[in-house]
């Protein structure tokens, strides 16, 4: 049993965290995600044992596997649908799932301790409200049972998981009630953190300015070249003979009848049918269970502004938290996928110009405006006739080219050499090359990087296999291959001198920048230092964290905003491309809040969310202290 009760030990913790101030480090809203159950399982219960035991609650291997698969799918989607085992291990997915399941159990147990529970009616209401289980806007028991069966879930299993979810959400809401406000000072601190500006003066040391001062002598150049000589290594070169069976050569002999083209058109009608497409513009606000009602109200307020005449695209660019905000929320033309999701249903119910009501999804709230409808259509036969003929010719040309190339390859193997094969087949056209590099290929081989890679994988005196390229099939014999070599300095002296001067100029710029910074730290003024080094003092526009110059490195930001009148100099110069910047703090400009009411409102909501999540984490940490947690060694 746990060694504390919410009413005695937990309440002071909640109050303490609820009142703690938010300082400038608050820039990222930390999300606590709990995953309870998904679809599919590979690990079954192992002899009735549990994967995890949290207090008196047991979490089975099947529940763990469902949670793992769900997280794996979510993460894989962010990497284009592929996630290797090595990458999953590096991301510590297993540890994340274990932590999520443990925290979920702790939250449920803590909720029960403070007297929270979920009634049967709450479970029933949640199920009947789910769009997935509705038919014509009403709950369908038949659809409910069918969907559960399709996902290998029994009603008891599903409703138990749902009860856990609802209890977790209720606990999150109730704990969050201890945080009811974010002070004006906290909001202003965060607004200033994002928008305050720093004014700098800087000196720019360019390597190009020192090239004329670099003198090249034989001894120094030779010493430098010894350390850099591998950069001058020649690339491999190869000399080959080859037989080419190009599709374009074979294509000229192929005729496709109108009857065959018509037959293909009729049998592949779906290829020439384009479904109705719709182009939406979306505005997305991030939300979770703790702030969903507020975000729904915010979204509806933005919709009301658009309906009153404000440009929806402008609102999207200002308020949306979706990557599409840079394109005004335009996500392109979309077909009807038949998913039955609320968003798809809305998309295909709107008319151009309409803005649908706010819709909540898993991680936020959507507003949608329909921009364009492209009606379903089928391309006429005459429109696609030539394209079909080209496809059929290409397919037949590939087949014929393969047969000819394969016959030749087998003939060479049978004859014992290309020479012997050519004596028996004088009609074949053998092509030869001089030595060439992979980045400077022979003209007849210049159009296919993959083919060149396969050719350069050959050794001298080696016959390739049958090589397929983008333009045909090839059989290649490598007559001779030159390995990379490091040339003598004399052979590459002009190039070596040029690189030597560039390298030494960079070194000189680096040293000059360090000397200038030391002089400033020693008490000299920016004007005096600039004069010493023959530079002009640059006065760039004031910078903020929100509007950081794209060409300046991100790591420089932390240093710049840590500067002050008492500490106006960085420890080291900044490096931008090859330039070295020595900069000095001049002043900090406070941002004016006037006209930024919407941003201040968003910051206030974000602060509230952050406070609630910190409070929730404190609650979970306290629960963990009094709970025995066991992990099965087989996990």
Identify the structural domains of the chain with CATH numbers, from first to last.
Answer: 6-182+599-631 (1.10.4030.10), 197-230+492-589 (no CATH), 237-250+394-482 (3.10.50.40), 276-375 (3.10.50.40)
What is the pLDDT confidence band of residue 578, given thresholds at 50, 70 and 90? very high
DSSP 358: P
DSSP 398: H
With b meaning 16 or more CB within 10 Å and e meaning fewer, what string describes 260-270? ebeebbeeeee
Instruction: Give the least confident one: 339-343, 352-356, 380-384.
Output: 339-343
Instruction: Write the DSSP string, 225-293.
Output: HHHHGGGGPPPPEEEEEEEEEEHHHHHTT----HHHHHHHHHHTGGGGEE--EEEEEEEEEE--TTTHH
102: how many CB neighbours lie within 10 A of its CB? Answer: 21
Residue 298 has φ and ψ, to the nearest 5°, of -60, -45
Q: Judge whether 340 and 132 are in contact, CB under 8 Å.
A: yes
Order of all β-strands in the sheet with 334-335? 334-335, 277-286, 364-374, 359-361
386: how many CB neighbours lie within 10 A of its CB? Answer: 10
| The predicted structure's pLDDT at residue 78 | 64
Residue carrying structure tokens 């509007």: 547
Q: Judge whether 371 and 269 are in contact, CB under 8 Å.
A: no
| The predicted structure's pLDDT at residue 80 | 59
Rounded mean pLDDT of the chain?
Answer: 86
Q: Judge whether 107 and 34 are in contact, CB under 8 Å.
A: yes
Instruction: Give the least confident one: 359-368, 415-424, 455-464.
Output: 359-368
Query: Distance between CA 286 and CA 628 in Å, rounded?
Result: 35
Structure tokens at 541: 């526009």
For the stretch 488-524, pLDDT in tens is: 999 999 999 999 999 999 999 999 999 999 999 999 9
Query: Distance between CA 476 and CA 456 in Å, rounded?
Result: 11
Please give the share of the chain, as a percent, with pLDDT higher than 90: 48
Query: Distance between CA 288 and CA 168 in Å, rounded?
Result: 12
For the stretch 108-119, pLDDT in tens is: 898 888 899 999
CA atoms within 13 A on the CB side of 156: 0
DSSP 9: I
Reported as type and span, the H/E element at residue 59 is: strand 57-60
**Dihedral of CA 593/598/601/603: which sign?**
negative
Q: How far is CA 279 from CA 144, 225, 320, 354, in A?
A: 32, 59, 17, 12
Structure tokens at 530: 């600039």
Higher pLDDT, 19 or 98: 98
Q: Judge whether 625 and 46 are in contact, CB under 8 Å.
A: no
The alpha carbon of 542 is separated from its chain's Cα centroid by a whole number of angstroms, namely 31
Residue carrying structure tokens 């150049």: 221
Tally DSSP H helices, then E strands, for the chain. 21, 20
What is the pLDDT confidence band of residue 177, given thresholds at 50, 70 and 90? confident
498: how many CB neighbours lie within 10 A of its CB? Answer: 12
In terms of DSSP bridges, do strands 57-60 and 50-54 run parallel, antiparallel, or are they unpaired? antiparallel
| The predicted structure's pLDDT at residue 63 | 86
- What is the average per-residue pLDDT within 55-69? 89
For the stretch 8-54, pLDDT in tens is: 333 333 333 333 333 233 322 222 222 233 323 333 344 457 899 99
């Amino acid at each position: 049993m746990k060694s504390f009760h919410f009413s005695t030990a937990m309440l002071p913790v909640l109050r303490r965290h609820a009142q703690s101030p938010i300082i400038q480090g608050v820039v990222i809203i930390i999300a606590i995600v709990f995953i309870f159950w998904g679809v599919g399982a590979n690990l079954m219960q192992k002899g009735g044992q549990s994967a995890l035991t949290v207090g008196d609650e047991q979490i089975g291997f099947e529940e763990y596997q469902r949670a793992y698969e769900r997280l794996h799918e979510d993460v894989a989607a962010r990497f284009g649908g592929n996630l290797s085992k090595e990458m999953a291990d590096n991301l510590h997915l297993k540890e994340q799932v274990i932590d999520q399941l443990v925290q979920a159990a702790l939250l449920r147990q803590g909720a029960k301790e403070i007297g929270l529970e979920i009634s049967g009616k709450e479970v029933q209401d949640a199920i009947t409200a789910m769009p997935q289980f509705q038919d014509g806007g009403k709950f369908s028991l038949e659809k409910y049972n069918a969907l559960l069966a399709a996902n290998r879930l029994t009603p008891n299993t599903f409703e138990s998981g749902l009860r856990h979810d609802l209890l977790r959400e209720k606990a999150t809401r109730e704990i969050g009630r201890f945080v009811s406000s974010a002070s004006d000072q906290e909001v202003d601190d965060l607004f200033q953190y994002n928008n305050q500006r720093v004014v700098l003066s800087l000196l720019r040391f360019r390597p190009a300015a020192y090239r004329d001062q670099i003198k090249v002598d034989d001894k120094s150049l030779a010493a430098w070249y010894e350390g850099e000589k591998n950069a001058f290594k020649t690339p491999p070169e190869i000399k080959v003979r080859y037989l080419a069976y190009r599709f374009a050569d074979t294509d000229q002999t192929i005729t496709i009848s109108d009857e065959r083209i018509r037959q293909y058109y009729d049998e592949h009608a779906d290829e020439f049918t384009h479904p109705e497409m719709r182009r939406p513009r979306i505005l997305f606000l991030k939300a979770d269970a703790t702030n969903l009602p507020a975000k729904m109200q915010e979204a509806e307020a933005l919709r009301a502004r658009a309906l009153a005449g404000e440009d929806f695209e402008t609102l999207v660019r200002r308020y949306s938290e979706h990557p599409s905000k840079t394109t005004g929320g335009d996500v392109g033309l979309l077909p009807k996928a038949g998913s039955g999701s609320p968003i798809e249903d809305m998309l295909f119910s709107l008319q151009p110009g309409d803005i649908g009501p706010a819709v909540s999804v898993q991680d936020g709230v959507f507003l949608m405006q329909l921009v364009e409808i492209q009606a379903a259509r089928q391309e006429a036969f005459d429109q696609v006739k030539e394209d079909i003929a080209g496809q059929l010719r290409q397919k037949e040309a590939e087949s014929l080219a393969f047969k000819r190339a394969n016959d030749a390859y087998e003939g060479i193997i049978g004859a014992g050499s290309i020479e012997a094969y050519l004596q028996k087949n004088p009609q074949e056209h053998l092509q030869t090359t001089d030595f060439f590099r992979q980045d400077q290929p022979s003209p007849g081989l210049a159009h296919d990087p993959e083919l060149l890679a396969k050719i350069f994988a050959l050794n001298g005196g080696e016959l390739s296999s049958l090589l397929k390229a983008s333009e045909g099939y090839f059989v290649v014999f490598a007559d001779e291959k030159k390995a990379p070599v490091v040339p003598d300095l004399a052979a590459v002296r002009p190039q070596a001198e040029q690189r030597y001067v560039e390298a030494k100029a960079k070194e000189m710029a680096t040293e000059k920048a360090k000397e200038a910074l030391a002089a400033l730290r020693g008490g000299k003024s920016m004007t005096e230092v600039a004069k010493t080094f023959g530079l002009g003092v640059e006065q760039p526009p004031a910078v903020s964290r929100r509007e950081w110059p794209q060409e300046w490195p991100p790591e420089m930001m932390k240093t710049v905003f840590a500067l002050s009148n008492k500490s106006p100099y960085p420890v080291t110069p900044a490096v931008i491309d090859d330039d070295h910047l020595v900069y000095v703090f001049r002043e900090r400009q406070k941002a004016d809040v006037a006209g930024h009411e919407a941003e201040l409102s968003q910051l206030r909501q974000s602060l509230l969310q952050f406070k609630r999540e910190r409070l929730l984490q404190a609650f979970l940490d306290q629960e963990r202290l009094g709970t025995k947690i066991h992990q099965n060694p087989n996990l």
